[in-house]
A and B are shown apart, each in its own frame.
Chain A
């Protein structure tokens, strides 16, 4: 079975631009979460979606937004990109809620801001 898939794998943008990252969860998983991982640090929670509704938001500015589609795939949008947004963006899915099921991660989208 396919794991969590993310696209694109790499992306280069300039300051001020907007970006959309995509994620397909493991088949049957209804929960999708997004994380930002800066080099040398652990992933930081951005959003969780379950059954197409936002269930949690981390300490990120309103420039970050996300949504989940009826097929449980998800998009993360970042507006007005800053140099500090350069990071690995990870998507994770789980069959239940975060509090009772392990999350399984994709290999991420490496976003570089010039």
Chain B
């Protein structure tokens, strides 16, 4: 399929190492954040989410950290595997004026896992 990651920042990681993907979000009022993984030719796949009342949340091999002071999110992947190669997006929920929210995606980071 077509590459999703054309012109995106790239993070090269050696297999077995830990990966850290960073994301700056735009709205200090955002209170729900999601990380997605998108492989070539596929739609974004939900990885993990976090609400603004938390600083850290762990899943299977993944950890999300939220720093509301500087509007920063990070995704840590432990023991990175070749199957982790993909584009990773952070997304924040922006509330619309009538209290409904919409997902706003960051620019994305291409992760390349090398043997």
Contact = CB atoms under 8 A, between A and B. Distances in A.
Contacts of A100: 32
Contacts of B5: 40
Contacts of B91: 42
B100 A48 contact: yes
Contact of A39 (B6, B96, B99, B103): B6
B32 A99 contact: yes
B102 A42 contact: no
B101 A40 contact: no
Interface in B32-86: 32, 34, 36, 41-46, 49
B107 A43 contact: no
A42 B9 CA distance: 13
Given A43-B105, A48-B102, A99 B95 contact: yes
Interface residues of A, number: 30
B46 A102 contact: yes
A98 B101 contact: yes
Nearest to B7: A40
Given A33-B103, A99-B95, A40 B6 contact: yes
Given A40-B8, A90-B43, A107-B42, A99 B93 contact: yes
B8 A108 contact: no
Nearest to B35: A102
B108 A99 contact: no
B104 interface: yes
A42 B107 contact: yes
A48 B46 CA distance: 18
Contacts of B89: 42-43
Interface string A1-41: 00010000000000000000000000000000101010111
Interface of B: 2-8, 32, 34, 36, 41-46, 49, 89, 91, 93, 95-96, 98-108
7 tightest CB-CB pairs across the interface, nearest first?
A42-B105, A99-B101, A105-B43, A40-B6, A98-B101, A55-B100, A40-B7
